[in-house]
Amino acid sequence: MNLVVTEIFHSLQGEGPLLGIPSVFIRFGGCIEPLCPWCDTPYAWHDFSEMGLDEILQKVAQYGCREVVVTGGEPFLQWETGLKDLHGRLLDGGYRLVYETSGKAGVPDPPGAVVVLSPKHIGGTWHVSQTNLQRADWFKFVADDEASMEEICRFVEANTLPAEKVFIMPMGSTRADQMQRMEAVFAFCRAHGYRMTPRLHVLIFDDRQGV
């Protein structure tokens, strides 16, 4: 059984509720249209190779870290074609799992894992279902300008998401983009009771891959 993988690397979690925690990242390849125009990992759409479960587990084990972040692309595209089995084997191995997902492929109920859901507003529409929202532990949004922040507020209120579970991060895959939007996002979070998350890997390494 093989999975489509873009990269596996060891780093610190750069954003969201688990900011700063040393983690092994498994980035799966492939995504679902409509694709995000602002995506900071577009290489995951087409740059990947097949890896077997044993190969993935061996790669993860070499870092000696018990925190694993499963991301993409869109990882849940492969839930029924191998990821579910990898999930079970990672749990059996004593790893703690976090999934980062847009929800566009659906969100299963992965036992023993944390799900960070980043709903996407593309072409005037939110591409996530109410069922998927209910399966998330945390919510992470990308904010660009005042219009995008207003849209986030409407979505949070319409779906009664707890403000303390909402994280807002500045849009941008470069350090300059992040810094340009940082102050506005800070003020937005302060005004609405949301949590702000920087993107440490972007602020430190700019647009370098695999960090």
Is 184 a member of any domain?
yes
Give the tens place of pLDDT for each residue, 119-137: 999 999 999 998 999 999 9
pTM of the shown model? 0.95
Q: Give the percent of the chain with pLDDT over 90.
A: 91
Is 183 a member of any domain?
yes
Is 33 a member of any domain?
yes
Is 210 a member of any domain?
no
Query: Do residues 196 and 170 touch, judged by C-beta distance below 8 A?
Result: no
DSSP 121: E
Is 166 a member of any domain?
yes
Calculate the average pLDDT of the chain: 95
Is 211 a member of any domain?
no
Number of domains comprising the chain: 1
DSSP 209: S
The answer on pLDDT for 117 being more than 90 is: yes
Q: How far is the CA of 84 from the CAs of 75, 95, 111, 134, 206, in angstroms?
A: 11, 14, 10, 20, 33
Q: Which three-class secondary structure state does DSSP give residue 53?
A: helix
The answer on pLDDT for 38 being more than 90 is: no
What is the residue range of 94's domain?
2-205
Query: Do residues 82 and 51 touch, judged by C-beta distance below 8 A?
Result: no
| CATH code, domain with 148 | 3.20.20.70
Interatomic CA distance for residues 22 and 27, integer angstroms:
16
Is 188 exposed, middle or buried (CB count within 10 Å of its CB: 0-12, 13-18, 19+)? buried
Is 54 a member of any domain?
yes
